[in-house]
Amino acid sequence: MRVLALALILMSSLSAQDWPQFRGNPALTGAPAASAPAAPKLLWTWENPDAILSSPAVVAGVVYFGTENGDLIAVDISTGKTKWKTKLGESIGESSPAVAEGRVFIGDLEGAVHAVSAADGRKLWSYTTSGEIKASPVVSGGKVIIGSYDGALYAIDAASGKLAWSFKTEGQVHSTAAIVDGVAYIAGCDGSLRGIRVADGKQTVEIRIGSYTAASPALAGGRAYVATYDNEILAIGLAEGKVLWRYEHPVRKFPFVSSAAVTPTLMVVGGRDRMIHALDRNTGKPAWQFSTRARVEGSPLVAGGRVYIGGGDGRFYVLDVKSGKKLWEYEAGAPISASPALSRDRIVVATQDGRLLCFGP
């Protein structure tokens, strides 16, 4: 547990300045120990004609994201000006960049994983799987860990692009791997939460949850929190090897594809039921719910006592994390399914009509 606590402290410290991957850190908690604007204002807008489903990463003042026409783009977070653009494939969907050791990694819908130079977008290597990639890469132990719709989880050497190992599951791997203590946890389309050792690709645990899962697990306090297509939110004990609690709304039965944000007391997640749900982490009992005007597929960011999340109704919301009360909203004018990223008191989020929005104090 001391190792886990130290890992979380280190990840929180990193996320205080940078947001190097989907959900901000390898545990996918979406809740950095960082300041965030209480009443944001729009600082700049970057525009292109192609949809953006990819959630941004931010490192050293540069925002990285993919577009539907297959471009990987780097934008200066201070000015909103393009630094470089690299064509990688026919289309990039929900896969979001991971940035490590001067490289940017991302997957595309043709099934390829790419590495480019963070400095100038120069292509370094590509590795091709047998199915489309919607999961986001996570870098751990010198390896790029990513799932494919061919049913496998891959570990690719980050420097060379050579395959280190692959692990075959019994279904498509949509979920991004959450990594703690050298183990990658995926909740996939085969109804299991699996733990795969990063060092050698050996499975350390399989916990049956019985549900198709597109959302990625968030790891905190020895538990995995994940929402499912069977309209449930689960807390899974990793040491116990079982589901500790399940939550389902008593009336509104809709799937979840949003990944949870986890605070010391709550887990917060968006739903296709048009609601944002906050549950007690220990018991699964509802703390609050907030209703939007359309389904919520993006994942929330929690920072500074506030929840930041976009919705299918084209609005970007700021809510009080304790009460769920709306503090602020911005009318973006197009659905938002990507998740926001936070860096240096600025929040960036993408819209489905091809805009990247930057908010700050």
User: DSSP letter at 6?
Assistant: H
% pLDDT > 70, the chain:
96
Cα–Cα distance, 228 to 109 (Å, whole number): 23
pLDDT confidence band for 222 (50 / 70 / 90): very high
| Backbone phi, psi, residue 2, to 5° | -65, -35
- Rounded distance, CA 109 to CA 93, Å? 6
- pTM above threshold 0.85: yes
Answer positive or negative: Cα dihedral of 254, 255, 261, 265: positive
Share of the chain above pLDDT 90, in %: 89
pLDDT at 11: 40
> Could you tell me the pLDDT band of residue 63, with boundaries at 50, 70 and 90?
very high
Mean pLDDT of the chain: 94
**Span 24-42, average pLDDT:** 93
Model confidence at 38, pLDDT cuts 50, 70, 90, reads confident
What pLDDT does 2 receive?
36
Q: Is the pLDDT of residue 12 over 80?
A: no
Query: CA triplet 329, 230, 226: central angle to 5 degrees?
Result: 60
User: Which pLDDT value is given to residue 14?
Assistant: 44
Can you tell me the distance from the alpha carbon of 108 to that of 80, in angstroms, rounded to the nearest whole number? Answer: 24
pLDDT in tens, 145-186: 999 999 999 999 999 999 999 999 999 999 999 999 999 999
All domains of the chain in start order, with CATH: 24-360 (2.130.10.10)
Which of these ranges, 55-59, 156-160, 229-233, 331-335, has the smallest mean pLDDT?
Answer: 229-233
Segment 313-334 shows an average pLDDT of: 97
* Angle formed at CA 217 by CA 216 and CA 218, multiple of 5 degrees: 120
What count of other Cβ atoms lies within 10 Å of the Cβ of residue 357? Answer: 23
The structure tokens listed for 168 are: 């075959």
Cβ atoms within 10 Å, residue 120: 10
CB of 83 closer than 8 Å to CB of 108 = no
Mean pLDDT of 203-219: 93
Residue 212 pLDDT greater than 90, yes or no: no
User: Which pLDDT score, from 0 to 100, does residue 123 have?
Assistant: 98
Per residue in 69-123, pLDDT (tens digit) is: 999 999 999 999 999 999 998 999 999 999 999 999 999 999 999 999 999 999 9
Burial of 49 (0-12, 13-18, 19+ CB in 10 A): exposed
The answer to whether 170 and 150 are in contact (CB under 8 A) is: no
What would the mean pLDDT of 20-31 be, rounded to a whole number? Answer: 97
DSSP state of 70: S
